[in-house]
Structure 1
Amino acid sequence: MTDASRARSFGPAAARYAGHRPSYPPELFDALEQLAGFPLAGARTADVGAGTGIATARLRERGARVVAVEPAEGMAAELRLRNPRIPLVRGDGNRLPLAGGSLDLLTYAQSWHWTDPARSVPEAVRVLRPGGALAVFSNDPDLEYGWIAEQGRRLEAAFGPGWYVNERPQRSQGGLDFAVRAVRWSRRISVEAHLAKLSTHSLFLIGRPGAQDFLAAERERLLGLFSDGVVEEAYVVDLRVAVRP
């Protein structure tokens, strides 16, 4: 499974992605402000790899003057549909369509792994003003919850350890030093909604052999574990913020 094939797989499922992928808790943006050293309100912001605008919309709600940057047409179309007031430009983190020194904040929500850090880090430095911040964050499964850890082991046994791709910046990279914060949160959703969310990962979108059988078996297993048909999906948001010197 190549990065290109993974990336192309999201477009046809953009509406399902927008409807079932988790959002982000308010505490994440509190922590982002603390590590960046300035408030989101009024901050000139670009959200790169914005997808359908899940994080972009939260940034706008906090008062950021945000523009979405998204390369894929299907995801961009869904973002326009759901967030018509958010400006959108087509592009990616390896070659940002943004002026040098024009931003207070550059964010990557669940999208840093689509970039080449040898290119995306210098691009971040280029477009940020001195004192501006690069923030990279992602919702990762909280493995302290037994059923989530067990599901992860089943996924790895069926499809290998590469099923979940979510690379992060190194602590020190390209002249930037990243501070790290973990933010835990959870949401209660139906088993069906959880499986719909799971099906939006590229492993399932790309049609790996056995993927649909896995989802069917997982439905039966989870309904046996949770008789009311509701699960608590728990996440650890890994937040990394670097301030440009």
Structure 2
Amino acid sequence: MTDLQHLAHANSFGAVAAEYDRARPSYPPALFEEIERLAGRPLAGADVLDVGAGTGIATRLLHGRGARVIAVEPSQGMADQLRAVSPQIPVVRGVGDELPCHDASADLVTYAQAFHWTDPERSVPEAIRVLRPGGALVLFWNLKDRSVGWLGEQERRHAAALSSYHYYGTLNAVTEPLERHPLRVTHTKLRWERTIGIEDVITDLRSKSYFAVAEPELRERVLAEEREWLTGLFPDGRVVEPYTVDLTVALTPA
């Protein structure tokens, strides 16, 4: 993907913020238990910057576990949706490459489904700057389990139909820059699944950047074909989506 394509994808989410909030997957409770274990501290009472917070799907879960969360989000549309759904959570406009935060002001800096939109050569030093000693940079992604037959076929279908299709099936290249800093880095994976309706699957797809940037006629044709294909696979209308949560926790020196 070129820099211009990357920017177009990154800027596409504001227009699909409602679909994003309505249909994107949540995260299992075990994820936050694992974050607490690897970070060596409870989320309750922690000062957390949730960067690239989007519509606040992970932000609300962090808040619900007692963290004092500030959401950092560059997209006006996504930030507006977050404020509408969760007015109790403060939101500031900003990006991970240049955080609008004081030095040593956070216990955790989290990125849920967002770190791959940053330039790690800038975002990692920025996270280190705003973290307190012994703080943690926490990166996590929900990844559909493409080893499951129908999900692997779905990926092939979308890659063939949409020239801008991309899927972050492996995140080694995204997280590798962490190793060049004085951080203690741990990677782990968790598995979970959700059951949703076919129309929820379609709404989720609408919120993907590679659908959002597609020409409207192409997008609607591919989504109509997807609806028909899923209906044949799941005649009862219930779709089981298995996920792997890819989690990286990088601790700063105490």
Class of the TM-score when normalised by the shorter of the 2 chains: over 0.9
Write out per-residue CA displacement over residues 171-196 of structure 1, whole angstroms, 9 at most, x where no aligned residue.
Answer: 61333242111111111101111111
- Aligned to 2:147, the other structure's residue is in SS state coil
Write out per-residue CA displacement over residues 191-221 of structure 1, whole angstroms, 9 at most, x where no aligned residue.
Answer: 1111110111011111247332221111111
- Aligned to 2:230, the other structure's residue is in SS state helix
- CA distance, structure 2, for counterparts of residue 138 and residue 109 of structure 1: 6
Q: Percent identity?
A: 51
Judge which range, 97-106 or 163-172, deviates more: 163-172
Contact 1:136-1:239 within 8 A present in 2 as well: yes
Residue equivalent to 1:184: 191
Residue equivalent to 2:202: 195
- CA distance, structure 1, for counterparts of residue 143 and residue 88 of structure 2: 29
**Are positions 1:175 and 2:182 aligned together?**
yes
- CA distance, structure 2, for counterparts of residue 238 and residue 50 of structure 1: 17
Residue equivalent to 1:15: 18
How far the C-alpha of 1:161 sits from its partner, in A, is 8.0
- CA distance, structure 2, for counterparts of residue 147 and residue 134 of structure 1: 34
Show the 5 A alignment for 1:119-198: 119-159=122-162, 162-165=165-168, 167=171, 168-170=174-176, 172-198=179-205
Query: Of 43, 46, 53, which residue of structure 1 is paired with 2:46?
Result: 43
Show the 5 A alignment for 1:31-110: 31-110=34-113
- CA distance, structure 1, for counterparts of residue 82 and residue 204 of structure 2: 18
Contact 1:204-1:212 within 8 A present in 2 as well: no
Residue equivalent to 2:233: 225
Read off the aligned partner of 2:54 and give its amino acid letter: G
Residue equivalent to 1:206: 213
Please tell me the root mean square deviation across aligned C-alpha atoms, in Å. Answer: 1.6
How far the C-alpha of 1:157 sits from its partner, in A, is 2.4
- CA distance, structure 1, for counterparts of residue 179 and residue 210 of structure 2: 30
Contact 1:135-1:239 within 8 A present in 2 as well: yes
- CA distance, structure 2, for counterparts of residue 32 and residue 202 of structure 1: 27
- CA distance, structure 2, for counterparts of residue 149 and residue 39 of structure 1: 37
- CA distance, structure 2, for counterparts of residue 114 and residue 198 of structure 1: 19
- CA distance, structure 2, for counterparts of residue 172 and residue 85 of structure 1: 36
Read off the aligned partner of 1:9 and give its amino acid letter: S
Which stretches in structure 1 are left out of the alignment for 5+ residues? none
**Are positions 1:238 and 2:241 aligned together?**
no
Equivalent pairs counted in the alignment come to: 245
